[in-house]
């Protein structure tokens, strides 16, 4: 993924919600779990994980919708208040600190192919995973797969994630 491709912009179908990714994401997941299939209405969800403060709002603020998840802890999906397209999510693990941006909402979604396929045990049988891209029946070990720069960026936001998690326990 060439760094000169960032910042990169995207948005919803009606163009009311617009955003800019200031930098390349931490990592890109192609999730084949049944929850992602149901929520996307497709065979998988393609999400670019990025620090939320690196996603700059350029238009109307998205509406955040609480949505159930397989973990039981839910997720918050940011949707356009007009056309209802899902733009990104915040999952319970990292909360509002990390955004999982829907790659298909980028103006140039070709920019972010998946770094990994996860929950491939429940992928649709007609989906053929590409050679050369790691695939896991469920999840993976981040320390073994993420680039050093992404691990360092995650380490930098870890105190924010931990503070958010602690605030939920109160």
- 45-88 pLDDT per residue, tens: 999 999 999 999 999 999 999 887 776 777 899 999 999 999 99
7-168 fold: glutathione-dependent formaldehyde- activating enzyme (gfa) (3.90.1590)
Cis peptide bond prior to 7, omega within 30° of 0 = yes
Residue 74 to residue 69: CA distance in whole angstroms:
5
Instruction: Taking residues 120-129, report their average pLDDT.
Output: 96
What's the pLDDT score for residue 170?
Answer: 67
Q: In what order do the strands lie in the sheet with 8-11?
A: 8-11, 18-21, 55-57
Residue 1 to residue 4: CA distance in whole angstroms:
9
Residue 23 to residue 55: CA distance in whole angstroms:
9
């Amino acid at each position: 993924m060439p760094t000169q491709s960032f910042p990169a912009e995207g948005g919803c179908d009606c163009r009311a919600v617009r955003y800019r990714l200031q930098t390349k994401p931490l990592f890109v997941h192609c999730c084949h779990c049944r929850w992602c299939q149901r929520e996307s209405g497709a065979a998988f969800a393609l999400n670019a994980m990025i620090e939320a403060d690196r996603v700059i709002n350029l238009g109307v603020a998205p509406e955040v919708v609480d949505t159930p998840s397989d973990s039981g802890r839910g997720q918050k999906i940011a949707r356009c208040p007009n056309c209802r397209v899902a733009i990104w999510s915040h999952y319970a693990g990292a909360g509002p600190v990390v955004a999982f941006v829907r790659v298909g909402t980028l103006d140039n979604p070709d920019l972010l192919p998946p770094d990994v396929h996860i929950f491939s045990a429940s992928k649709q049988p007609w989906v053929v995973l590409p050679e050369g891209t790691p695939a896991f029946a469920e999840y993976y070990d981040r320390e073994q797969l993420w680039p050093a720069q992404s691990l360092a960026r995650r380490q930098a936001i870890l105190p924010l994630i931990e503070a958010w998690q602690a605030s939920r326990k109160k």
